[in-house]
Amino acid sequence: MGAATRQLDGPADHGSWPVSVAEADWQRAYRLWFEHARGCEVCKRGATVAQGCDEGQELWGGYRLARVGGGRQWP
């Protein structure tokens, strides 16, 4: 399982110069779910993941599998 990298920049992201940070598979899966949930009206209204939309539930399932070291590989 390869780690993804993200470009961080700005003082809020560890200084004033661009930095590449390796991101573990489970961290990337969680970030994808979190970004989806923040923008999705159905997921915003739900108190739990089970009350979110199908895509949100699928992303959360991918995070749970990645967290235990198995399942879907993220591009």
For 2-13, how does the pLDDT look when each residue is reduced to its tens digit (9 = 90+)?
Answer: 556 555 555 555
- CA-based angle 33:38:42, to the nearest 5? 90
Angle ∠(64,49,27) on CA atoms, nearest 5: 35
Tell me how many helices (H) and strands (E) the chain has.
Answer: 3, 2
pTM for this predicted structure: 0.64
Mean predicted confidence (pLDDT) in 49-57: 95
